[in-house]
Structure 1
Amino acid sequence: MPFWTKLTLAQMNQDQWESLCDGCGKCCLIRLEDDDNGEIHTTDVHCRLFDSATCRCINYPERKKHVPDCIKLTPDKVGQLHWLPRTCAYRLIEEGKPLFDWHPLISGDPNSVHEAGISVANQTINEDKVRLRHLVRHIKVWPGEESD
């Protein structure tokens, strides 16, 4: 049995925890919250430390130093972060759901998330290039994130 089917998120070691990240990049996108209803909208604008080509943080170990509002995902936060992508392995495991076939832990291929069209690779804009007042123009529903 794979480790993610028999361990809780809190029971995983650091290597297991990190391997759950599929590299889609969706968690590094800027989100907007509707003041009227609390609904969260994801944009196609990424954090200044995000590399759109690789879907990885360019300074992961020191990201909080450069982007203070970056949220470090921990087992106790997963259930509270309702904006986590529907396709996110951390969210899926917390909800008792299986990983998708394209997840690298299932496919054995780190590029499967990109090949499946789930990642945001090469489809986003650096936040430093977008004016705050124009963020609403960048709202996007990403594959796998459609409403039920």
Structure 2
Amino acid sequence: MARFNKIFLGPVDKTCPQVREADASVALKPGRLVVMSSGEFALAGAATIGQVLLVQDNYLAMKGVDDDWAAGNTAVAIEMQSDELYAARIANGVNITAKGTALTPAANGTLAIASTSGLVVAYSDEIYNNNSGSEQLLRVRPAGSQSYLSAAV
């Protein structure tokens, strides 16, 4: 069970985050990072190049953050803004020891702790040791402008 029940966490005076719609190339779990690839959402990874988006929960069908968007169906992803908070997925075994920890895309669209030369897409907004046995949602703040980031060379 997820630790948060929504992907967009606020501020509350912004009730409609900017989103994009596209077909899902694979099943997409809310809170995972995606990029556009051949006109479809594909899971972001360590070598991500392009705009990084965050998969939204399917509130249109009254589904929760643990309900996947099916492959081939239209999905909704958020264009993250630096003045907003989101819940994004981290893998089991990731230990966030300080607020403000730099995070980077990892396998399957989850977040990992960034190395000194990696792409930073977000910063943790809470301390959390994920030893739950499954990926969990972590409160994050995007790293600056998310438009068209590219991997470090």
Shorter-chain TM-score tier: under 0.3
Higher strand share: 2
Higher helix share: 1
The TM-score with structure 1 as length reference comes to: 0.22
The TM-score with structure 2 as length reference comes to: 0.22
Higher-RCO chain (CA-CA 8 Å, sequence separation at least 6): 1
